[in-house]
Structure 1
Amino acid sequence: MRFKVSFILVFYFCLFESVSCQNILLSGSVKDSLHNPLSYANVIAKPVNVAERIKFSITGDEGNYKLELVKNEAYIISVSYMGFKTVSFEFNASKNYKKDIVLKSEPNQLKEVVIEIPVLVKEDTITYNTSKFITGEERKLKQVLKKLPGVEVDKNGSVTVQGKKVTKMLVEGKKFFGGGSKLAVNNIPANAIDKIQVLDNYNEVAFLKNVSDSDEMAMNILLKEDKKQFVFGDVEAGKGNEEFYRLQSNLFYYSPKTNVNFIGSLNNTNEKTFTFKDYISFQGGISSVLKGDGALYKASAGNFSTFINTQDLVSSTAKFGALNISKVVNSKLDISGYAIFSHAKNETLNESVNQYTTITEEKENKSTAKNILGIGKFNIEYAPTTNEQWYFKTQFKKSDNLQNNAIISTIENDQRFVFVKNNAEATYVNQNIEWHKKLTNKHTFSFASDITLDKNNPTTIWETNQLILQGLIPVEISDNYNIHQQKEIENVSINTIFKHYWVLNNFNHIYTTIGNKYNNESYFTDESQQLENSSVNNFSAAGFGNDLNFKLNDLFVGVHYKFKLGIAEFKQGAFLHNYNWKLREQTRLNKRKTVLLPDFSTTVKFSNSKQIKFNYQLKTAFSNASKLANRFYLQSYNAVYKGDENLENELYHTAKLNYRRFSLYRGLMLYGGVDFTKKIKGIQNAVQFEGVNQYVTTLMVSNPEERWDFKLNINKKIKQIKYGVKTNVLTSKYLQQINNSFVTNKSNSVGYTISAKTLFDKFPIVEFGFEQRLGNYTSSNITSKFITNQPYLTIDYDFLKGVGLSFDYKRYSYENKNFGQKNTYQLANLDLLYKKEDSAWSFKINAQNLFNEKFKQQNSFSSYIISDSKTYILPRIVMFSIGYNL
């Protein structure tokens, strides 16, 4: 097998090199008449043969450029830069050639010279003319983005530009379904796109851009003129082997004042139209104005993520629908809203080997789940003047989850069977109001208020014919055991903040903040045993059952000073917090504390494509009510938990250092970063084991934890091949009290990926690489080592006329050195699409899990468990689909 893989890699490398030899290189520099280099000048090669594609280059920081041209082709070379006369000349690409170009200024330019510029860079905005990069076979925005220089799209739909993640997705300046990228890249039709803008340091409120510290990046999709008032989209239906099917619809209506988008999906192939990451982007709530004050409060997030987690399944049926509407009422008023509905029925099967302190458990978990989720949001944007902006946002979420688990736990040939039924309902309501006002050029103000109700009521039933949690719960002996738990969690939060931005001059700013955060959380638990004679054995007499109310008020004020020295920008300041919290359960507590949280940041911008950033913060965090509850409650079939009402706030240092370098001229993208977290005092779990049964409590510990995260990502283009190296090193150590003794747990994880990807115009886009991850975990002086190797290959190829092929392959080699386990499996997927030019119909054959693998294998590490698990997956699916484009 190794010989075959090596042979394929050598074959492709030789093939790439032979194709590369068909190109020649035109290079040089672009300068002004004073010999100053002109960065971001456009150098365009337009072939005389119209069948060939336009080539382009953008000069780097030193004014250098290079063009890779087809050998023996004739080109018209045009060099342009804003405020300078355009230079054009003919060039016959017979051999490598170097030519330096001098542009003369044209300050009194009377007529506009029209040049088709593929990429235009202006301050914080990059504009791509997509027609210069595509071939016409692209179907969705995702395929278009993959062909743009400096743009990357991963398999989850996340988009990065020059190594920086896109955080907002816009269409004609309006958020597309809440601004998340996944729905946009997978659904916006490629033939509707005219240009793509990338907006760095993006801020929804234009006049806050130069005073607020936004690190967001937005991507704005500009539509073709004939798509700005048009209904377009596509519908697809597919039938596969056995009973597999897929129905998908993406319908869009755009006009200058009204936009309507609908996305719908029905499938039983585990295709996630809406994932947990998408849910986070739709979550809304806390405004960006309310963030960044150094205060964290871990309130209940509502039991929504359960319904949309991406996971491997053995059976799946999913229904999804989303409707987004925006309306420009007049020049001052915009209204918008969306509604999302998701309904899924899933089955999972997981087998794991769990290493505890002294014992090993083999565990099988079969689950069935029925998940329903609905989200609705309504927004009003009102701008009475260009210097004033109002936002009114209302959001509602409702979910219902019913899940059954059948668990088989085996320890030293002793089997335990437990059936778990969980029914959870969650409700979330949020109202947000924002006001922003630029009073003068020196003084700008922002105010925001946010009110949230988050309610969650899960009910859990454990059924078994064997005694569980012996000695930890007061059960009565019976042939069958039926344990009930009821929880009621309700959190109300009210957050307000007021900010003043004072611009002393272009190099000195002072920011003042005052605000208040109030949280009122109720936490109720009740556990009992339902006996066979219909009577109830309530556990309250044994210390179970919580009825807790936790109120936390945080009044804070902050002052920050930002100044600029040359290419460096500095910001330092602090927040002063006055915390006041009340706790009511068996006893009443009322405490107050004042905490000073300093922070510091600096950005050194060597050029538009090269910068280094450093950020330091002292942070604090309060626990939610579940960790303060001082009576017992059940966490699972083998764990009992008890909180501590005397817990106070955690305190920890965070520091981040990152460096970003991008050069289109050199074909280089480099990102490196280090994150460090050090807890001065923190909350850690203390565990006492009785077999696999666990009694868990919480402790406040000094210097309990330290974490490092190192990242390095390098991409380098050499000729028409892009080479990549990506590394990630995670290390952590923290104190843990296990069986009344403190131990130090350690986790070391090292991963790297090396890859190569072809970028030829008339050749398949082929990427192959190798991933390896090494895990070394130590818990209670027990060390486990894992190794995962993953060679992979992807191919995207448009050939003949209208035929597109997409193939991805991974070979996993997994080894658990502790248990001597080795496993190898392969995963592959194939898409073959045919769409005749100018035809609305398309035909596709899709095959997933080509090798019909049964499961995936992985490892994980938690506070006191090292786990090796197998997750079973859907079988091979081969599907034929027919699509229609409107």
Structure 2
Amino acid sequence: MMKKVTLLLVLLLATLPVFAQTYPISGRVVDITDQSPLIGANVLLTRVPDSVKTGAAVDPTGRFELTAAPGRYVLTVSFLGYQTLRRPVEVAAAPVVLGTLALATSQVKLNGVEVVGQAAAAVQKGDTTQYDSRAFKTNPDANAQDLITKMPGVIVQDGKVQAQGEQVQRVLVDGKEFFGSDPDAVLKNLPAEAIDKIQVYDRRSDQSQFTGFNDGNTEKTINIVTKPTFRNGQFGRIVAGYGPDAGRDKYRVSGNINSFKGARRFSVVAQSNNVNEQNFGTDDLLGVIGTSAQGGGGQRGGGRQGAGGNAGNRGGGGGGGNAGNFLVNQASGISTTHAVGLNYSDSWGKKTDVQASYFFNLSDNVANSATNRLYNVQTRGRTLGYDEASTGSARNINNRFNLRLEHKFDSLNSLLWQPRVTMQNNTSDSNLDGRTFLGAFSEQSDSSQSTNLSKYHSAQMGLTLTNQLLYRHRFAKRGRTFSLGLNTTYNNRDADNFLYSENFDFTSRPTATPSFTNQYSRLDQIGWTWNGTASYTEPLSLKSQLQLNYTINYAPNDSDKKTYELLPNDGRDLNEQLSNVFTSRYTTNSAGLTYRYQFQKLEWSVGGSLQYAQLHNEQEFPRSVTTDRPFWSVLPTAQLQYKFSRQQNLRVNYQARTQNPSISQLQDVVNNSNQLQIRTGNPNLAQEYTHNLFVRYSATQPETSRSFFALVGGSYTDNSIANSTLVVREPTRIEGTTVVVPAGGTIIRPVNLNNEYSLRSFANYTLPLKLIKSNLNLNASATFSQTPGFVNSRLNYNRSPNFGLGAVLSSNISPELDFTLSSNSSQTYARNTVQSQSNSQYFRQNTTLRLNWILVKGVTLQSDVNHVAYRGLTAGYNQNFVLWNASLGKKFLPKQQAELKLFAFDLLGQNNSIQRNITEAYTEDVRTNILQRYFMLMFTYNLRNFGGSGAAPTDAPRDGNRQFGPPGGRPPGGGGGRPGGGFGG
């Protein structure tokens, strides 16, 4: 018995250190000269006297944190090219704050020793995939986008950057925001020669990063780590070009200037052009503009499946009172743009970090399009179709300001403040000629059912103010935290619309029945969102942690739409049937509990929350109607991450969410801007309930520069807000109004339906081809979506499988010869459970060759050849064309910083733009006007001034030129004439 008691005591004593209290040890590692953070520096804590070691890496802000039990330690900080720092540390019963640890550069010089080897292309570091820029050779003066397109799993398509199968939503520079959250502005204005590492990861929310609990709010993020030699100095580029043209002379002026001094960074970018460089990404254009306001777009599922096989945006979602939902991507057609942007980031003392940016953009757009649409409906045994030809012009003025300020009161308390202001002013005019018919492109005299000739003018103003506050407190006990957040959003949208239309119904032959509309409408929408969160985490052991959270959300929205009939004597008569005053109040309360476990290679968490939501709708005009809808929801969540090794990991993420209907979907008012396509709201809509599940696997082999990535995921939605589409076979009056929909016209109303889901998979494999000194990037994808919808009161499920294969061969020969050959093919199917004869399929292939070649010193040849082929589209829309851009340039001045070049766009005159959209109600093909052949003489001046000497860094290229991102050029896979180069090219 004594032996057993003694053994038990020994075991208990042995386990005491496991349960001993630990305390955080924190600090910041910087360069002793400019105080810039030494990102990735190694921090090692060694316990005295048993030499037990604990390590950490410095984050993008230069900070690190370790935990240790009371005792004596030695802290070692090391970084390549810097002298190692060692410091004794003693941990008592309190956190240890070491402050700033400055490293000096190493003065040791090795003579006569040359080490030649190949840098590892990719390294997996936990959740982060890190690429070494030295493993990818680019043409001198290339920008960040040119560099990342050579990296495994990174694709630039339709002007958007995708990494590991997901769209990149944020690009950071040394861990800090650069021009807000616009990836395009960063990648096109940062030179590739300044980049040391590229890190790709899923950035968690600020709240999740603080607590360690993954709340599912992640953004696919690229962090660009710059070379230390580029963190002090100025760099930039100025471009000016002009080309005579028979129709309209072409011009382009752009520039970017960047001044970096340690943590303080200031940048200015500007441009003016009429070659369709629209630039600034998603926040520049007010959504309901020109033809998009009047045409068939904007329906739920419009653009669900693009011609390139990419899932489109969910058109019907989002709040009508939310100005953010009136923002679209690059406008179709051709634009003249004037823009300027400012970006500033700095550390104010040791406790405050700030990043701020401002954008101004003025865009004049001209868009002409032709649409052919076939509905999943038959009349008298023939398919119902819709043709549309539209011309439109729009002017959009956008101002956008962002600020991120983080202040750390001490090692335990911090405050994060993120305000944002967006102001927009849009005016647009459009002319539309629409026709409904029976049979695809039938020439029979009785094929036309009805026609609509209309003119539409719109003037809109939008203001969005958002404010995010997050207070965080870390207790002395490791793992115990408390945070409190308050987020507010204010949206204000005003719109004045004028509509004149002539409609003819041919079903009453032999005489067509005409009708005329001459109206003015005024829309005023105001919306607020108030969101408060509280979160508390408590450690249960060294391996496990518990989180309790509570969230309250209140979203009041008001919408007032008045429509007036314009009278011959310039008078106005209120049309009550097309007017509506509506308010919506959406309130949610949710409380949740999550358990997290982490030990060595395994980390998992499971939890859930109980949510009570109430949707209160009140119609005040033209008649008083009130509806109340309560909702109880259980929202489970689960995450798992397993690290097979340092270079292999598996991640699983599941989350359930709810989404309330927008005020535009709820407001029961008729929108007759296109009288062949009438839309109304539905005040009886319920909230959506969605399950999301994703599985990701990553593996790299640094020694062979091989990497593999795979993703499988999907979502399932109950009470999905879908469309009920009624295609009328004869003139039909909308109940309660005098609006008559001609034969062949449609009435679209949102409804709740179940069984909407989507599945997708993506895999990428990269390997080096040493024989030709190049990298081969292979990828495959498969997606499947099911979209429900009523078509003439029959429930139809549109199912769209898509399969894609791609390959990219990028050179690693030398900076003097840089080429990229890529090819992507996709096969898309459209299957319907109602009227299977409407099923279709189409094939798209896009092959691109980009060549940058320095023929002799100072002489550059650049060529971009893009072949696009479509098969299976509507007759007349199948295309097989080649877009060829080329330039020949000569560099001059002592440091070769200036260049004069002759640039040619679309040498063969074949540029084209085709888009296929598939929805639950129809399949359509759209052709849009595009920028075509022109020539331009361009002058470029590159500024490089680092270290105060005015000389380029020793590792910078000495010759060459990138200035190619063709003005108005099409990125690989994109529609022709969409933006090509950035401010600096």
Q: Return the alpha-carbon distance in structure 1 between the equivalents of residues 387 and 866 of structure 2.
A: 28
Q: Does 1:450 align with 2:487?
A: yes
1:100 alignment counterpart = none
| Structure 2 CA distance for partners of 1:826 and 1:306, relative to 1, 3 Å | farther
Q: Return the alpha-carbon distance in structure 1 between the equivalents of residues 887 and 326 of structure 2.
A: 30
Q: Return the alpha-carbon distance in structure 2 between the equivalents of residues 469 and 820 of structure 1.
A: 26
1:869 alignment counterpart = 926
Q: Is the 8 A contact 2:874 2:925 kept in 1?
A: no
1:401 alignment counterpart = 426
Q: Is the 8 A contact 1:522 1:548 kept in 2?
A: yes
| Structure 2 CA distance for partners of 1:831 and 1:304, relative to 1, 3 Å | farther
* Per-residue deviation, 1:127: 7.6
| Structure 2 CA distance for partners of 1:209 and 1:661, relative to 1, 3 Å | farther
2:725 alignment counterpart = 687
2:251 alignment counterpart = 245
1:475-514 counterparts in 2 under 5 A? 481-514=517-550
1:859 alignment counterpart = 916
Higher relative contact order (CA 8 A, sep 6+): 2
| Structure 2 CA distance for partners of 1:556 and 1:181, relative to 1, 3 Å | same
Per-residue CA deviations over 1:323-375 (Å, capped at 9, x if unaligned) read: 12234332223444222100011111111111122322221111111111011
1:101 alignment counterpart = none
Q: Return the alpha-carbon distance in structure 2 between the equivalents of residues 194 and 827 of structure 1.
A: 31
Q: Which moved more, 1:351-360 or 1:168-177?
A: 168-177
Q: Is the 8 A contact 1:437 1:446 kept in 2?
A: yes
**Correspondence for 2:702 among 664, 669, 677:** 664
1:283-322 counterparts in 2 under 5 A? 298-300=318-320, 302-303=322-323, 309-313=329-333, 315-322=334-341
The residue identity in structure 2 corresponding to 1:338 is S
* Per-residue deviation, 1:708: 1.9
Q: Return the alpha-carbon distance in structure 2 between the equivalents of residues 465 and 435 of structure 1.
A: 59
The residue identity in structure 2 corresponding to 1:607 is S
1:120-269 counterparts in 2 under 5 A? 123=125, 137-145=140-148, 152=154, 154=156, 168-190=170-192, 193=194, 195-196=196-197, 198=199, 200=201, 208=209, 211-213=212-214, 217-222=221-226, 224-225=228-229, 228-242=231-245, 243-256=249-262, 258-269=264-275
Paired residue secondary structure (1:839): coil
**Correspondence for 2:360 among 329, 334, 341:** 341
Q: Return the alpha-carbon distance in structure 1 between the equivalents of residues 941 and 816 of structure 2.
A: 28
1:621 alignment counterpart = 659
| Structure 2 CA distance for partners of 1:563 and 1:470, relative to 1, 3 Å | farther
2:858 alignment counterpart = 802
Q: Is the 8 A contact 2:592 2:608 kept in 1?
A: yes
2:749 alignment counterpart = 697
Alignment identity in percent? Answer: 16
**Correspondence for 2:607 among 570, 573, 589:** 573
Q: Return the alpha-carbon distance in structure 2 between the equivalents of residues 787 and 144 of structure 1.
A: 30
Q: Is the 8 A contact 1:131 1:194 kept in 2?
A: no
* Per-residue deviation, 1:667: 3.6
Q: Return the alpha-carbon distance in structure 2 between the equivalents of residues 180 and 343 of structure 1.
A: 17
Paired residue secondary structure (1:716): strand
| Structure 2 CA distance for partners of 1:875 and 1:307, relative to 1, 3 Å | farther
Q: Return the alpha-carbon distance in structure 1 between the equivalents of residues 190 and 411 of structure 2.
A: 31
The residue identity in structure 2 corresponding to 1:524 is D
* Per-residue deviation, 1:866: 0.9
Per-residue CA deviations over 1:113-164 (Å, capped at 9, x if unaligned) read: 98989569695578877578657823433445566x6584636776677888
The residue identity in structure 2 corresponding to 1:331 is K
Per-residue CA deviations over 1:586-619 (Å, capped at 9, x if unaligned) read: 2223343321111222222212332222222233
Give the root-mean-square deviation of aligned CA atoms: 3.7
* Per-residue deviation, 1:322: 0.5
* Per-residue deviation, 1:879: 1.4
Work out the number of aligned pairs and report it: 754
* Per-residue deviation, 1:672: 2.2
Paired residue secondary structure (1:310): coil
Per-residue CA deviations over 1:546-569 (Å, capped at 9, x if unaligned) read: 211111111111111111366332
Q: Is the 8 A contact 1:569 1:604 kept in 2?
A: yes
Q: Is the 8 A contact 1:785 1:818 kept in 2?
A: no
2:790 alignment counterpart = 737
* Per-residue deviation, 1:865: 2.0
The residue identity in structure 2 corresponding to 1:846 is F
| Structure 2 CA distance for partners of 1:667 and 1:389, relative to 1, 3 Å | same
The residue identity in structure 2 corresponding to 1:266 is S
The residue identity in structure 1 corresponding to 2:187 is V
Q: Is the 8 A contact 2:610 2:633 kept in 1?
A: yes
Q: Return the alpha-carbon distance in structure 2 between the equivalents of residues 632 and 881 of structure 1.
A: 51
Q: Which moved more, 1:199-208 or 1:138-147?
A: 199-208
1:356-505 counterparts in 2 under 5 A? 356=375, 357-358=377-378, 359-410=384-435, 411=437, 412=447, 415-440=451-476, 441-466=478-503, 481-505=517-541
| Structure 2 CA distance for partners of 1:129 and 1:602, relative to 1, 3 Å | closer
**Correspondence for 1:884 among 941, 944, 951:** 941
Per-residue CA deviations over 1:525-549 (Å, capped at 9, x if unaligned) read: 2233323343445331xx4322111
Q: Return the alpha-carbon distance in structure 1 between the equivalents of residues 137 and 234 of structure 2.
A: 23
Q: Return the alpha-carbon distance in structure 1 between the equivalents of residues 914 and 724 of structure 2.
A: 30
| Structure 2 CA distance for partners of 1:505 and 1:217, relative to 1, 3 Å | farther
Q: Is the 8 A contact 2:797 2:920 kept in 1?
A: no
* Per-residue deviation, 1:173: 4.5
Per-residue CA deviations over 1:611-657 (Å, capped at 9, x if unaligned) read: 22222223322101222223434363323333332322222332222
Q: Return the alpha-carbon distance in structure 2 between the equivalents of residues 762 and 239 of structure 1.
A: 28
1:283 alignment counterpart = none
* Per-residue deviation, 1:728: 2.6
Q: Is the 8 A contact 2:526 2:557 kept in 1?
A: yes
The residue identity in structure 1 corresponding to 2:594 is H
Q: Which moved more, 1:551-560 or 1:790-799?
A: 790-799
Q: Is the 8 A contact 2:138 2:147 kept in 1?
A: no
1:546 alignment counterpart = 580
The residue identity in structure 1 corresponding to 2:196 is K
* Per-residue deviation, 1:238: 0.7
| Structure 2 CA distance for partners of 1:337 and 1:881, relative to 1, 3 Å | same
1:814 alignment counterpart = 870
The residue identity in structure 2 corresponding to 1:696 is I
Q: Return the alpha-carbon distance in structure 1 between the equivalents of residues 758 and 239 of structure 2.
A: 47
Per-residue CA deviations over 1:246-299 (Å, capped at 9, x if unaligned) read: 10110122224643211000000011321117899xxxxxxxxxxxxxxx9943
1:332 alignment counterpart = 351
- Unmatched runs of 5 consecutive residues or more in structure 1: 1-81, 85-109, 281-295, 472-476
1:709-858 counterparts in 2 under 5 A? 709-719=760-770, 720-761=773-814, 764-779=817-832, 780-781=834-835, 782-816=838-872, 819=875, 822-836=878-892, 838-853=895-910, 855-858=912-915
| Structure 2 CA distance for partners of 1:796 and 1:469, relative to 1, 3 Å | farther
TM-score when scaled to structure 2? 0.70
- Unmatched runs of 5 consecutive residues or more in structure 2: 1-77, 81-105, 287-315, 379-383, 438-446, 729-742, 944-985
| Structure 2 CA distance for partners of 1:835 and 1:820, relative to 1, 3 Å | closer
| Structure 2 CA distance for partners of 1:468 and 1:397, relative to 1, 3 Å | farther
Paired residue secondary structure (2:540): strand
